[in-house]
Structure formats: C-alpha cells, structure tokens
Amino acid sequence: MLLEGKKALITGGSQGIGTATVRLFAREGADVAFTYRKHEEEALALADEVKGMGRVALAVKADTSDYARAHEVVAEARAALGGLDILVNNAGMNWDGVIWKMKEEQFDAVINVDLKGYFNYIRAVSEGFREQQSGRIINVTSINGLRGKFGQTNYSAAKAGVHGMTKTVAKELGGRGITVNAVAPGLILTAMMEAMPEEAKQASLNETAVRRLGDPEDVAHVIAFLASDRARHVTGEIIKVDGGQYI
C-alpha cells in the first residue's frame, strides 16, 4: 500500500475532496486525523468508516483560521495517531463578488481561511517535521490562483498566495527531508458544485481538454502520490488536476 504506516492530518475532511482524501489514505494504509467545522454528523460517520478499515481515525472540530487552535489540533493528532508524517491543507471557503461590490468582511473571511489557515497548520507541523527530518505537506489550491477568476478576487488572491507560500516553504524545509507541494484542481463535482447552474458547469466543461469534469477522487489520487515516498524528489510544485481546463 502507498501509505502503509503513515500518520496524516487533513483539514476540511468532512466533505468533497477532503472526504475522498481521508478515505483513500485509509485504504492506502494510513491512520488519519481530520478537521471539520460544520458537518459534524458526516465527520463522525467518516471517522467510523476509517476505523472500520482497521485504521486509527480522529475527527476534530476546528476553525482553521484560528492560529492557537491549529497548534492544539496538531498536538491532538500526534497524540491520537502516535506521530505525524503528512499534512494536507484542504479546508477552504468562497464568498464570491465582483471587486466593486465586495465588502471588507467578505475579503477578510476568505483570506483568513484559505491563506492564513494554511499558514497556521504549516507553522504548527513545521517544528515537529524538522525534528524528525521528514514530512510531506500538500496544499489544495485552485487553477483560479494561477489564472484569476471573474468574481473571485478574494479566493483567487488567497490561492495565489498559497502558491507562493508553497514554493517558499519548500525551500525553507527541503534541507530537513520535507517536501511541500500544491495541487490545483479545476472544477470538481463536489456536492457544493453540483448545485451550480447548469450553464456555469457547461462553461467549465467546455474549457477542458478531456471534455469531462473531475470528481474528488481524481484530486485525492494526486494528493496521495505526493504524500508517498514515490514523490520524494518532487517539491515546490503546483500540479494542476483540471482535465486541461487551464492550459
């Protein structure tokens, strides 16, 4: 198995890409802790599912924008799993609006979760990873952090910031055996995206080279590869998982 014996922490694990990643990591042999903010019933059911696979599982309620809580969550995960090898930053939000209508609270809320939240958890694992001289950090971002997106100044800025953070932290931690990469999905058919207007989904579909929209498992498989020893010589990369939506 790809992740046999590994210990992973995944933020935003109760839905979409996060849930697919939790399941895949468990199937590939990892013990998994994951955070959730709203969907407690789904989170607890997912933890039970992972335990049913014979893995250790921990579901932790946390707002990823809370710096102190991030350090608490990492400590809880280490204690429950018996160590920590992998961090997947996935928790995120969007609150769209064109720039001439966007409110300050709208901008700040997305930056605090989608950018600062990633910093919080990288900061929280970095000392432990440096001490053990190993670790994998994977940041889930978006192609809109590479190309921009109408109506998403806050979201695109946050994701672009994570891309810069990924490359910088890869340089800072690489000498201690730690790799840092980002996965940038295109439109992925999560429950939230299923509610999009059909014309919006069709527009995204028309942008792709492969003429299909992705599902959460498409992203989870790339995350699992980057978390594994097979990707030991890959760091500082932004890998698109978008079916050629942005080429």
Write the pLDDT tens digit of every residue in 62-84: 999 999 999 999 999 999 999 99
Structural tokens at position 47: 């933890």
Q: What are residue 89's DSSP bridge partners?
A: 139
Per the prediction, the chain carries an average pLDDT of 96
Write the pLDDT tens digit of every residue in 149-203: 999 999 999 999 999 999 999 999 999 999 999 999 999 988 777 777 888 889 9
| Active-site option among 36, 118, 121, 155 | 155
User: What's the pLDDT score for residue 211?
Assistant: 95
Sort 195 into a burial class: Cβ within 10 Å, 0-12 / 13-18 / 19+: exposed
Superfamily holding 7-187+217-240: NAD(P)-binding Rossmann-like Domain (3.40.50.720)
3-state secondary structure of 204: helix
CA quadruple 163, 169, 170, 172: dihedral sign: positive
Is residue 155 part of the annotated active site? The answer reads yes
- Residues 236/178, Cβ–Cβ less than 8 Å: no
Among residues 221, 211, 194, 208, which one has the least CA distance to residue 247?
208
**Distance, first Cα to last Cα, the chain:** 32
Q: Where are the domains of the chain?
A: 7-187+217-240
The pair phi, psi for residue 110, each rounded to 5°, is -70, -40
3-state secondary structure of 140: strand
